[in-house]
């Protein structure tokens, strides 16, 4: 079985990478999880997963220099495919090869999480959302974050990508956000998976180059991520089907 | 809300109200900014949003299209952009009558926090706020502007419709529909 999720937000700064890694670690308790840094122009997953020193990354795979297995690292109970940060690496990589990468990874894992670029303004930025089965939309309780989340949903559903749910991140007061959560849900096709409190732990974990769930597993934000992961129902898809779909990149034409 | 006309200091098109809030804070401007949507596709394109400032810190908000003041006015002026923004300087004593209207006032950090969605700008604004307006912890948790935005069903549907059309158009441009 395999299901591919894009962890997406239209806006930067919502804590998308922290969320991707945290969900990956929490889901790894139940599934074989692979996390991919699909933000090939502004990669930072490597800094969250203690992989800032690795030499081979997704850039090399997308440049057709190495097989994806060479850029896949076993860390924190999951498989992590980091992307490099050099301009040269970005220039030489072909983001459309991501389809082949995901197809290859799909053969041997249960859940793939694509840390997606916080933008919708280019082919490469939209590709992870196009390829995923469903998107987890990361929001903050601000007007631009919710507006951009709505746009992510429209892009996703335009390509028949479902909405797995909403994750409110960096929430300062759990009680006062209820009204916003309820009102936001009306416009989204997926449920609210949970809200994660703003936390110094997340910043400290990032500075330490470790996932939040490894660095401070008992902090409220880590608890919240585990709860979000528990409410995310992973659907069973046939690995072969997913691989075929990505390879052929059958993307429905919309009216 | 009636304001005496100030001295025009800047007139430009921005994609994000954040740019203007940051610029006004940097310059510690006392006066007001007028935001006008450039996007005629959106329903709330009619009308202008006005935010006043004292030494760069937001004081009141008002929207001419909805005739609403305070946090809901911030929701009314929120559109995906671009905006035409005019920034005017005006003496504090000329702003005083407007600033005395409690129903128009907004918490100092609310525009940065909820309209611009920029925590760093919100922190700078918090630090710059005068002692008598220094935001408390709970001011940062005021979601009323976001709630007012979500109550505007027509605007949200317009944003969705626009995104849907954009996605369809780009799918063709990017070859997602024919591969």
Positive or negative, the CA dihedral A57, A112, A206, A51 is negative
d(Cα B127, Cα B132) in Å, to the nearest integer? 12
Q: Residue B141: its chain A contacts at CB < 8 A?
A: 172-173, 176-177
Spatial contact of A200 and A207, defined as CB atoms under 8 Å apart:
no
Residues of chain A contacting B, Cβ within 8 Å: 11, 13, 120, 123, 126, 130, 140-147, 150-151, 153-155, 158-159, 170, 172-173, 176-177, 179-180, 183-184, 186-187, 249, 251-254
Chain centroid, CA A174 distance in Å: 24
Beta-bridge partner residues of A192: A166
In a mutational test of the A interface, the residue from B115, B143, B157 whose CB has the highest number of chain A CBs within 10 Å is B143
| A147, A151, A254 ranked by CB distance to B168: nearest | A254
What is the pLDDT averaged over residues A227-238?
A: 87
Q: Under an 8 A CB cutoff, do B167 and A176 touch?
A: no
Sheet with strand B83-89: strands edge to edge:
B7-14, B83-89, B31-37, B48-54, B57-63, B68-69
- Please answer whether residues A5 and A136 qualify as being in contact, where contact means their C-beta atoms are separated by less than 8 angstroms: yes
**Residue B48: which of B37, B61, B59, B32 has the closest Cα?**
B37
- pLDDT at residue B73 in the model: 95
Chain A residues whose beta carbon lies within 8 Å of the beta carbon of residue B149: 143, 146
Provide the chain B residues 88-127 that lie in CB contact (below 8 A) with chain A. Answer: 113-119
**Rounded-to-integer distance, Cα B140 and Cα A216, Å:** 25
Contact between A22 and A225 under an 8 Å Cβ cutoff? The reply is: yes
Out of A153, A159, A183, whose CB is closest to B176? A159
Helical packing angle, A200-208 and A16-27, nearest 10°: 80
Does the pLDDT at position A251 exceed 50?
no
Answer whether residue B140 shows pLDDT above 80: no
pLDDT digits (tens, 9 = 90+) for A11-55: 888 999 999 999 999 999 999 999 999 998 889 999 999 999 999
From chain A, the residues in CB contact with B178 under 8 A are: 253
For A249, the closest chain B residue by CA position comes to: B179
For residue B177, give the chain A residue with the closest CA: A253
CB proximity B129 to A under 8 Å:
no
Between A242 and A120, where is the model more confident? A120
Three-state SS string over A140-209 comes to CCCHHHHHHHHHHHHHHHHCCCEEEEEEEEEECCCCCCHHHHHHHHCCCCCCEEEEEECCHHHHHHHHHC
Rounded mean pLDDT, A106-126: 91
Decide if pLDDT at B108 tops 90. yes
Q: Is cis: bond before B23, omega within 30 of 0?
A: no
pTM for the whole structure = 0.90
Out of B117, B167, B176, the one facing A154 most closely (by C-beta) is B167
Minimum distance, in Å, between the CA of residue B150 and any CA atom of chain A: 6
Q: Which CATH number fits domain A3-245: 3.40.50.300, 2.40.50.100, 2.60.320.10, 3.40.50.620?
A: 3.40.50.300
Element (H, E) at A101: helix A98-106
Q: Which of B145, B163, B164 sits opposite A143 (nearest CB)?
A: B145
Tens of pLDDT along A61-97? 999 999 999 999 999 999 999 999 999 899 999 988 9
Q: Where are the domains of chain A?
A: 3-245
Minimal CA separation from A45 to chain B, in Å: 22
Taking only the tens place, the pLDDT of each residue in A121-175 is: 888 889 999 889 999 999 999 999 999 999 999 999 998 899 999 999 999 877 7
pLDDT in tens, A170-203: 998 777 789 999 999 999 999 999 999 999 999 9
Residues from chain A contacting residue B80 (CB–CB below 8 Å): 147, 151
Alpha-carbon radius of gyration of chain A? 17
Mind listing the pLDDT tens digit for each residue in B87-105? 999 999 999 999 999 999 9
DSSP state of A236: P
CB-nearest partner of A143 from B75, B142, B167: B75
């Amino acid at each position: 079985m395999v299901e591919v999720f894009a962890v997406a937000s239209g806006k930067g700064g919502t804590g998308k990478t922290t969320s991707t890694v945290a969900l990956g670690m929490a889901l790894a308790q139940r599934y074989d999880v692979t996390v991919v840094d699909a933000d090939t122009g502004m990669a930072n997953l490597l800094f969250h997963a203690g992989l800032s020193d690795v030499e081979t990354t997704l850039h090399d795979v997308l440049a057709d220099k190495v097989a994806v297995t060479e850029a896949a690292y076993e860390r924190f109970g999951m498989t992590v495919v980091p992307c490099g940060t050099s301009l040269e690496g970005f220039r030489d990589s072909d983001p459309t090869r991501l389809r082949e990468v995901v197809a290859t990874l799909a053969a041997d894992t249960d859940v793939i999480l694509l840390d997606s670029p916080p933008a919708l303004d280019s082919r490469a930025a939209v590709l992870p959302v196009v390829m995923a089965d469903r998107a987890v939309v990361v929001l903050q309780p601000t007007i631009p974050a919710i507006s951009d989340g709505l746009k992510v949903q429209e892009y996703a559903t335009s390509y028949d990508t479902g909405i797995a749910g909403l994750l409110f991140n960096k929430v300062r007061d759990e009680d006062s956000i209820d009204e916003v959560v309820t009102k936001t849900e009306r416009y989204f096709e997926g449920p609210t998976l949970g809200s994660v409190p703003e936390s110094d732990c997340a910043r400290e974990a990032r500075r330490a180059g470790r996932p939040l769930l490894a660095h401070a597993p008992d902090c409220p934000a880590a608890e919240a991520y585990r709860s979000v992961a528990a409410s995310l129902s992973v659907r069973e898809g046939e690995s072969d089907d997913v691989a075929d779909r990505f390879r052929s990149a059958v993307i429905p034409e919309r009216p | 809300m009636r304001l005496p006309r100030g001295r025009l200091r800047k007139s430009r098109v921005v994609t994000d109200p954040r740019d203007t809030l940051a610029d006004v804070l940097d310059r510690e401007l006392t006066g007001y900014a007028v935001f006008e949507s450039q996007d005629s596709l959106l329903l709330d394109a009619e009308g202008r949003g006005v935010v006043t400032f004292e030494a760069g810190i937001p004081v009141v908000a008002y929207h001419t299209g909805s005739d609403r003041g305070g946090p809901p006015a911030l929701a009314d002026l929120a559109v995906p952009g671009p905006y035409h923004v005019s920034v005017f300087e005006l003496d504090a004593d000329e702003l005083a009558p407007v600033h005395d209207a409690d129903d128009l006032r907004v918490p100092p950090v609310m525009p940065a926090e909820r309209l611009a969605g920029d925590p760093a700008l919100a922190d700078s604004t918090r630090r710059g706020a005068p002692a008598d307006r220094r935001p408390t912890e709970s001011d940062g948790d005021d979601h009323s502007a976001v709630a007012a935005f979500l109550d505007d069903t027509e605007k949200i549907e317009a944003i969705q419709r626009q995104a849907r059309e954009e996605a369809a158009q780009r799918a063709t441009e990017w070859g997602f529909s024919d591969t």
